[in-house]
Amino acid sequence: MGPEARWKGWGMEKIRERQGVDPGSIASGVGNEAGETVLGVPALIALLGGVRLGSSSVQLIDQLRGLEDMKSAIAGVQARAAVAFDLAQRREQALAGVPSSEQGQSSGAQIALARRESPSRGSRLLGLANALVTEMPRTMAALESGQLNEWRATLLVKETACLSVEDRRSVDEELAPDMGTFEGAGDKAIIAAAKAAAYRRDPRSVAQRATQAATGRMVSLRPAPDAMTYLTALLPVAQGVAIWAALSRKADSSRSGGESRTRAQVMADALVERVTGRRGGIAGVDLELIMTDRTLLQGDSEPARLKGYGIVPAAWARALVGAGEAASEAVGKMTRVTNEGHTARASEPGGRVLPPRTAPPAQDAEFNVWVRRLYTAPSSGELLTMDSKARLFPPRLRRFVEVRDDICRTPYCDAPIRHIDHVVPWHSGGTTTVGNGAGLCEACNHTKENPGWMAKQVSGEVHTLEVRTPTGHGYRSSAPPLPGHGGPQGPSLDI
């Protein structure tokens, strides 16, 4: 039974009626159900577009400060709107018969999409708004008056999160941000003041927070410029310091022995070697590098795409392939290009030997190159289809969707793909096909199962996914183009 089956019949119809209302008419400043006029945001944007810049340096600085204050004030209005929206959703869902424990489950995701943020950030955005509006009135007043920007208001909320509502209000009253307490203060000063006030109010809760923080230990990866990446670990301080000390000792030892690499380079290389167990860190790891045949074999400049990272230069991609191919030669495992959809080693017939290339620095580990040929539509560059009659996506079809989507297909979300799921659910008649499949992160896959959420594939040359929320607002995302098929397709669009 789908989530919507739990809703009372007339209540679900009322929600559907709201989905028939043009969301843009509300933002444009028409009357609401009470006959009042709501904020006409497009008119406000148009008004700002007509602002004349000052003619002197003094006037320009005054305008910059005024506009910065306006940004803070708008953030305050957004916070109040988010809280009001959550309450409205809960009221509507209560009338529809949704159990109290399930009411408001997707409010944060809808708020995030409206702000062009990943739905996974929704709970934090809504939590920030609730804290400012209901528990920290003086911080909220400072935000609305332009004395604090949204980020610094967030810092105050974050540093008091471990306190009870009463203690948090007391800290808010003590700090009194709306009285100019933090005029000229930077982030560190604001954090220090909030931490000190919170500790004075409830030292036990602050100590417990430090103890519980270890449960949030994690490792993350995000792209950096020039085919580099940031590998970040959040660890308890003792473990983090121990790792740093071990890498430092390795660097000091190598440098004293005449090592030509810099200290930082030695530490980075030692980290890779100790984690992967091999110098270079590539052997035994599946790196999915997508490029055109022209880039691989003819020296074309069309960039490639590395799964989990993004676009990389053509020369770098060829060098990476060349490094693996050169290592394969050394052990008699020459890689060959094979027929459509297959891979092979040199011992298998029917392949074409890849030309050896020069390995890039610090990538001299042995690894094997496997080549899979992908066929795309000439005009759009979309991968050609592959279908299955099974409910679960078979491995080859899953891999096909992963290659096409690259990251989570929910608009504004760039999290790694964790689930391959049906756009139109199987229980609603959806088929297990490339067109009806989408790569999603775990959070977004769970969010779309909430009552009132719908998704569909939009017909066209490029695979486009349309997500509709319980309010009737629609958001679209298109699969990123494969190398060799032009620029970005515009991954996200509000409709």
Angle in degrees, 0-180, between the axes of helices 187-201 and 165-175, rounded to the nearest 10: 130
Rounded Cα distance, 138 and 141, in Å: 5
Residues 6+ apart with CB under 8 A from 60: 53, 54
- Determine the pLDDT at residue 210: 81
Burial of 183 (0-12, 13-18, 19+ CB in 10 A): exposed
Rounded Cα distance, 437 and 383, in Å: 13
- Determine the pLDDT at residue 40: 75
User: Which residues on neighbouring strands pair with residue 478, listed in sequence order?
Assistant: 464
What single-letter amino acid sits at 251? Answer: A
- Match 């062009």 to its residue by tokens: 116
Burial of 384 (0-12, 13-18, 19+ CB in 10 A): exposed
Max Cα–Cα distance, the chain, nearest Å: 80
- Determine the pLDDT at residue 160: 96
In which residue ranges of the chain is pLDDT below 70? 1-39, 280-286, 323-390, 461, 484-495
- Determine the pLDDT at residue 359: 39
Q: Which two tokens stand for residue 360?
A: 């890039």
Helices (H) and strands (E) in the chain, counts: 17, 16
413 within 8 A of 444, measured Cβ to Cβ? yes
Helix, strand, or coil (residue 476): strand
**Residue 368 CA: distances (Å) to CA of 317, 343, 365, 492:** 15, 11, 10, 37
Tell me whether strands 419-422 and 454-458 are parallel, antiparallel or unpaired.
unpaired
Q: Which two tokens stand for residue 231?
A: 């590998």
Rounded Cα distance, 259 and 82, in Å: 57
- Determine the pLDDT at residue 308: 72
The closest of 334, 332, 350 to 342, measured between CA atoms, is 350
DSSP type of residue 384 = P
The helix (run of H) or strand (run of E) holding residue 395 is helix 395-405
Phi, psi of 197 (to 5 degrees): -65, -40
Helix, strand, or coil (residue 31): strand
469 within 8 A of 106, measured Cβ to Cβ? yes
- The CA-CA-CA angle for residues 473, 478, 479, to 5°, reads 145
Structural domain boundaries in the chain:
49-212, 218-276, 291-353, 387-494
User: Which residues on neighbouring strands pair with residue 219, listed in sequence order?
Assistant: 233
Sign of the four-CA dihedral 416, 418, 420, 425: negative
